[in-house]
Structure 1
Amino acid sequence: MRRIRLLTATALGLALSAAAVPPVSARTTAADAAASGAAAMGETATVRLITGDRVTVTTDVAGRRSASVEPGTGRRGVLFRTYEQDGRLSVIPSDASDLVATGRLDRELFDVTGLVAQRYDEAHTDALPLIVEQGRGAAEATVHRLAGLAEDGSAARPLKSIGAQPLRVDGDDLGTFWKQLTSGSGTSRPGARAAATPKVSGSGHWSPRIEGASEGGPGVRKPGAGAAQSGDTVKAALFRDGTQIAGAGSSWTNVEVPAGAADYRLDVSTARASGEWAYGTATDTSWSFRSAAAGEARLLPLLQLDYTVPVDGHNEVGPGRTHGVRLAVRAQDGLAAPKGVDMQVEASYDDDRTWSRAPLRARGANAFEADVKRPSGVRGDAYVTLRGSARDAAGNSVRQTVTRAYLHRG
């Protein structure tokens, strides 16, 4: 007998429901990120940071990236540090570094590769969507001031379930926004600044992520690992050569399987019971893969799907009939990128009853873009359920459905 460890770390709800769950960016190579929306090789893209500074990202013909900074008005004395990790560039101004370190500012606000990939560059938008947590005392007063700088209507609906305010700030107002955000403490001491500054994160994309399954070796469970929130459910079932051999009521378990190569299928479903979750209310994911005996612990070849959807702070896309959804297919972190990937994307506007296949364009390096189109008979606002299916040349496959992933405004 040998042991398969299933640690699927499934984020219940998966969709970024008004930033109640932090977005998780795909960990891509330089080529992957370029293909999934970052500046293409030999091209440039310019983004505005929350500080009002403009950063131009350049990708040369070899796929190498560099960043140049044009400081905002009155910021010529600010220093800028550029970091590169996993093929992604981040640019952090010196007057923001302490707020990033203390968690008051989401580091992804300075991930310029990610901002370009989400189409927050100047070629695609003139505003930056943000979510500001409503604090107490000085921080609360700051939130009220910041709401006055938001685009008309973008601060109309607070996210009461998480105590936050979504805002869209015009690029030309970001410098003023930054001054208002950081002026609450009246001091430059890092601790005092952090206490007086509301927590700010980015908004506008979600990325389901399921990871961590391996075979061989014992499983180590942290307290609470794999447990759902109260009322939420997670169910998993493992099949070997078409016969179910294990089931679990959580996303973590060890399974003893017979020795020898076999075809496996792992099904994981999640459901949210809380009425506060309007989006990502259920997910169903099914992986198929082949596995043989392993002398040591190693990751299973479970394909992962990463999504980028152009939603706003309320997890909604605009009223246009068609919008683009970007997807990337990858292996679990630590495994080589899958080869020969084929993909299919479907959308449902009636809670899984009927499906329409979305036209798909390859973007290179296992990246794709689907054109999701509202059916002609659907009027007004409608929830969109997404289903992505992918298979690689080795025969590994994944099929994932996210129920009520986001809202398409009518």
Structure 2
Amino acid sequence: MRTDLSKESVAMNSAPSRWCRTAGFAAVAAAALIALTACNPFGGDVVAYDLPAASARYSFQAQTAGTKTVWEYTSDQPAKSDVPQSSPCIGDLTQQKSGACRPEPLIFLRYDLDLGLDNTAKAGGVHHITVTGYYQDRISTPPTVNKLRAEASFDGGKTWRPVRTKAGKQNTFAVDIDNPRRDKAPEGVGLRISATDSAGNTVEQTIPKAYQLH
């Protein structure tokens, strides 16, 4: 089975500044995608790879700038290709068809860290952030992200503690973090987010230092 990860997927998940006060940062898959470009005659813009036809569980990992992301998803042979006409499969473009293809259902995460103008959050109070799960635009019928677990670290990722989460609009969750005093978290606040969708696909993203305190 041939599956595609599009240029758009890479672009949407390239890392902006970690301290962007509204967007935060997204999952960074680019480093891992580079290893998959060997079968791609067009370079790094589109990544395609073949998988066995039988249904199986797969794990895909990426680590960039200290942020580690682990995806687990189930994939099987599609009955027919499921990609937009504007973004066809590589086999269709090269006339070297190897069967039907479709994008893989990887869950990506988008953060609104709600930071101040100095890109920090207030110490010693409850801090509200928003986490949204999303997929490549190329997926015609994406699953729904229906579960999210959040943990915070105040010692650079050595230890983690669960924090409160509440489901909001589709694929979106509110996360409340009890920020400690600044001297109790000199390295800032780390986040570890685990999300699951209605198809059983998962993502776990670990950011040892998501924001600083003031």
Query: Normalised by the size of structure 1, how large is the TM-score?
Result: 0.39
Q: Is the 8 A contact 1:330 1:366 kept in 2?
A: yes
Q: For the residues of structure 1 that align with 2:16 and 2:186, how far apart are their CA atoms?
A: 18
Q: For the residues of structure 1 that align with 2:42 and 2:52, how far apart are their CA atoms?
A: 23
Q: For the residues of structure 1 that align with 2:185 and 2:191, how far apart are their CA atoms?
A: 19
**Mapping 1:89-108, distance limit 5 Å:** none
Residue 378 of structure 1: CA displacement?
4.9
Q: 1:267 maps to what in 2? A: 61
**Candidates 108, 117, 129, aligned match of 1:325:** 129
Q: Is the 8 A contact 1:343 1:389 kept in 2?
A: yes
What is the Cα-based RMSD across aligned positions, in Å? Answer: 3.1
Q: 2:208 maps to what in 1? A: 403
**Mapping 1:147-186, distance limit 5 Å:** none
Say which SS state the counterpart of residue 184 (structure 2) adopts. Answer: coil
Residue 341 of structure 1: CA displacement?
0.9
Q: For the residues of structure 1 that align with 2:167 and 2:111, how far apart are their CA atoms?
A: 14
Question: Structure 1: any 5+ residue segments left out of the alignment?
Answer: 20-202, 227-251, 272-281
Residue 15 of structure 1: CA displacement?
6.1
**Candidates 132, 144, 157, aligned match of 1:352:** 157
1:25-50 deviation per Cα after TM superposition (whole angstroms, max 9, x unaligned) = xxxxxxxxxxxxxxxxxxxxxxxxxx
1:227-275 deviation per Cα after TM superposition (whole angstroms, max 9, x unaligned) = xxxxxxxxxxxxxxxxxxxxxxxxx86544333221111111113xxxx
**Candidates 17, 21, 26, aligned match of 1:208:** 26
Larger radius of gyration: 1
Q: Following superposition, which runs of at least 4 residues in structure 1 exceed 6 angstroms of deviation? A: none
Cα pair distance change 1:270/1:297, threshold 3 Å: same
**Candidates 141, 145, 148, aligned match of 1:343:** 148
Say which SS state the counterpart of residue 338 (structure 1) adopts. Answer: coil
Cα pair distance change 1:261/1:340, threshold 3 Å: same
**Candidates 304, 309, 316, aligned match of 2:108:** 304
Q: Is the 8 A contact 2:148 2:194 kept in 1?
A: yes
Question: Structure 2: any 5+ residue segments left out of the alignment?
Answer: 34-38, 79-98
Cα pair distance change 1:327/1:359, threshold 3 Å: same
Q: For the residues of structure 2 that align with 1:15 and 1:356, how far apart are their CA atoms?
A: 27
Q: Is the 8 A contact 1:388 1:401 kept in 2?
A: yes
Q: For the residues of structure 1 that align with 2:183 and 2:161, how far apart are their CA atoms?
A: 13
Report the AA paired with residue 162 of structure 2.
R
Cα pair distance change 1:303/1:395, threshold 3 Å: same
Residue 386 of structure 1: CA displacement?
1.0
Say which SS state the counterpart of residue 401 (structure 1) adopts. Answer: strand
Q: Is the 8 A contact 2:105 2:142 kept in 1?
A: no
Q: For the residues of structure 2 that align with 1:337 and 1:257, how far apart are their CA atoms?
A: 20
1:43-63 deviation per Cα after TM superposition (whole angstroms, max 9, x unaligned) = xxxxxxxxxxxxxxxxxxxxx
Q: 2:40 maps to what in 1? A: 219
Report whether the alignment pairs 1:292 with 2:103: no
Q: Is the 8 A contact 1:15 1:405 kept in 2?
A: no
Q: For the residues of structure 1 that align with 2:158 and 2:186, how far apart are their CA atoms?
A: 17
Q: For the residues of structure 2 that align with 1:339 and 1:204, how far apart are their CA atoms?
A: 23
**Candidates 152, 164, 176, aligned match of 1:371:** 176
Q: Is the 8 A contact 2:28 2:69 kept in 1?
A: no
1:98-136 deviation per Cα after TM superposition (whole angstroms, max 9, x unaligned) = xxxxxxxxxxxxxxxxxxxxxxxxxxxxxxxxxxxxxxx
Cα pair distance change 1:379/1:340, threshold 3 Å: closer
Report the AA paired with residue 267 of structure 1.
Q
Residue 408 of structure 1: CA displacement?
1.8
Identity fraction in percent:
27
Cα pair distance change 1:209/1:380, threshold 3 Å: closer
Q: For the residues of structure 1 that align with 2:52 and 2:164, how far apart are their CA atoms?
A: 42
Q: 1:257 maps to what in 2? A: 51
Say which SS state the counterpart of residue 364 (structure 1) adopts. Answer: coil
Q: Is the 8 A contact 2:190 2:210 kept in 1?
A: yes
Q: 2:17 maps to what in 1? A: 16
Say which SS state the counterpart of residue 341 (structure 1) adopts. Answer: strand
Cα pair distance change 1:407/1:302, threshold 3 Å: same
Report the AA paired with residue 159 of structure 2.
T
Q: For the residues of structure 2 that align with 1:313 and 1:301, how far apart are their CA atoms?
A: 35
